[in-house]
């Protein structure tokens, strides 16, 4: 397998490259930002893209979106490698077509485990690691954009409703309820909407 590491920090790129080599992957190229990564993909036959989240110009989620919008790149595994540890970022990565999420700092054992999980996740979506095999994503960009608008509208409505409900929490929730319970509620709602979004994008439901 050939890897493309995308990170604007040289030390992070070298660390990930060394870690991959430790677990047996030696075919590795590097890019310093999303634009450079897209340029490399035009000439390099890459199997797995491992990208940092926060980068100048084009961040990791924007790069992921660009790649998933190109049918010729739908045979690529995309993994975010980041220090951002929050549920919303994870959800955004998943609903944008990401196959894995590795939290910094990581060990070689964790890296190996997450790679295996990401490959399995990739195969379960109907794509194949090998070029030319498996299905392709035929999502209409206009439909996808409209779905995103609807999801955003529902999120805004939900946040407004939750803010209103929050004022009533002392009389609604038990005394031992915590703010994390509210956060879990919001995350659950967004997960359900994300599932519906994925379902609408799946050809077999259209």
What is the pLDDT at residue 49? Answer: 97
Fold classification of 3-124 (topology level): Rossmann fold (3.40.50)
pTM: 0.61
- % of residues, the chain, pLDDT over 90: 36
- The answer, yes or no, to whether residue 156 has pLDDT greater than 80, is no
- CA distance linking residue 137 with residue 125, whole number of Å: 10
What is the pLDDT at residue 120? Answer: 86
CB atoms within 10 A of CB 41: 21
Higher pLDDT, 94 or 35: 35
Most confident of the ranges 57-66, 96-105, 196-205: 57-66
Domain positions in the chain are 3-124, 141-205
CB atoms within 10 A of CB 31: 23
What is the token pair recorded at 62?
A: 């924007």
- CA distance linking residue 49 with residue 66, whole number of Å: 13
């Amino acid at each position: 397998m050939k890897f493309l590491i995308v990170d604007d920090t040289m030390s992070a790129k070298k660390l990930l490259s060394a870690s991959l080599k430790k677990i047996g992957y030696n075919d590795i190229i590097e890019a310093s930002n999303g634009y450079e990564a897209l340029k490399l993909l035009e000439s390099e036959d890459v199997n797995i893209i491992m990208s940092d989240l926060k980068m100048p110009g084009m961040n990791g989620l924007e790069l992921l979106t660009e790649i998933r919008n190109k049918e010729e790149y739908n045979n690529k595994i995309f993994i975010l490698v980041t220090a951002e540890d929050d549920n919303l970022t994870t959800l955004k990565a998943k609903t944008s077509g990401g196959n894995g999420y590795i939290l910094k700092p990581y060990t070689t054992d964790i890296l190996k485990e997450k790679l295996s999980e990401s490959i399995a996740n990739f195969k379960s979506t109907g794509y194949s690691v090998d070029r030319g095999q498996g299905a392709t994503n035929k999502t209409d960009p206009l439909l996808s954009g409209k779905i995103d608008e609807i999801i955003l509208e529902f999120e805004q409505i939900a946040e407004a409703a939750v803010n209103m409900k929050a004022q009533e929490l002392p009389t609604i929730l038990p005394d031992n309820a915590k703010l994390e319970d509210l956060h879990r509620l919001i995350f659950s709602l967004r997960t359900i909407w994300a599932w519906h979004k994925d379902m609408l994008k799946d050809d077999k439901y259209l």
